[in-house]
Amino acid sequence: MTDLELRILGDLFGAHPIPVTVYSTLRSSFFLDAILFVIVVILLYVLKGTDRAGRPPRLTPSAVAIMALGSLVVTFVVVFGYHTYIYWWVPDPKAIGMLLALQKNPWILAFNFIPHLWVAGLTVIWIRGGRLKRADLGLQWPRMSATGFLGLVVGGLLAIVLAAFIWSLVLPGPVARSDTGVLLAEIETAQVPGVTLFAIMWVVMVAIGEEILFRAVMYGALRERTTIGVALPLESLLFALYHARWNAVVPLFVSGCVLTYLYELKGSLYIPILVHAGFLAVLVLYLTI
């Protein structure tokens, strides 16, 4: 936050820590993501239709809201609760150390995976509870040869890497650096085991969580109600804006289009998951080497 923002909050609320914590959380991409997800849910309520098999849509607006908005709410509650605990119950010298650890410690940085764990856990509950079938979310292996499968994964990965590289030439700078990636580069080298585990978890959890949320649920719900020409660019734009990195909207949009097309092509979420994970692995290497 800027000094001006801190002064305004100080004039309004004094030294009370909770409003500052709430504001700093909402100031991040949380608030933007919430608006985007609400717009999608409203759009799904407005749109009528059936899926490609002529059935009523399996992915209801309420299901999309529970998964998308629920991930934001759970994240906010946990992070807000942790900060409130530090401000209210921890002595000042130790509190400063805990806040620094929150920024540097790879174990505490597991907070980054809360929304992805919510999405993955809810998916398991839905499937085991019979609300949805695995095929409804693309959790099935495509009917194709191993060579063709590998070709799609490698081709998709190369397309995304190429898009990021070309954009870096148009707009010089670390285009692909996310907040998490920057933290990876800043974590103390003495914590190599923790950094390695965090990097692996980041690659796996983000790829699985985002592909379920955006490709299986968001795109799936839109595709049940509209054509590919509407659903694919709309979902890809949502995917790009969700990351709130304005100098990388174009490559993120292209990446969303590639991942969504791969999902549409074979109806299997495993292909975009592997492509997404592969790109994140490349990103980790770029940030840490």
The pair of three-digit structure tokens given for residue 29, joined into one six-digit string: 């991409």
Split into its structural domains, the chain has a count of: 1
| pLDDT per residue as tens digits for the range 29-50 | 777 888 889 999 999 988 876 5
End-to-end CA gap in the chain: 30
d(CA 122, CA 224): 21
HSE-CB at 154 with a 13 A cutoff on CA atoms is 6
- What pLDDT, on the 0 to 100 scale, is given for residue 181? 47
d(CA 73, CA 66): 10
Q: Model pTM?
A: 0.82
The domain containing residue 171 runs over which residues?
A: 3-288
- What pLDDT, on the 0 to 100 scale, is given for residue 122? 93
- What pLDDT, on the 0 to 100 scale, is given for residue 102? 56
Instruction: Please report, as a single letter, which amino acid is at residue 87.
Output: Y
Q: Which residues of the chain have pLDDT under 70?
A: 1-28, 49-55, 82-110, 172-196, 198, 287-289
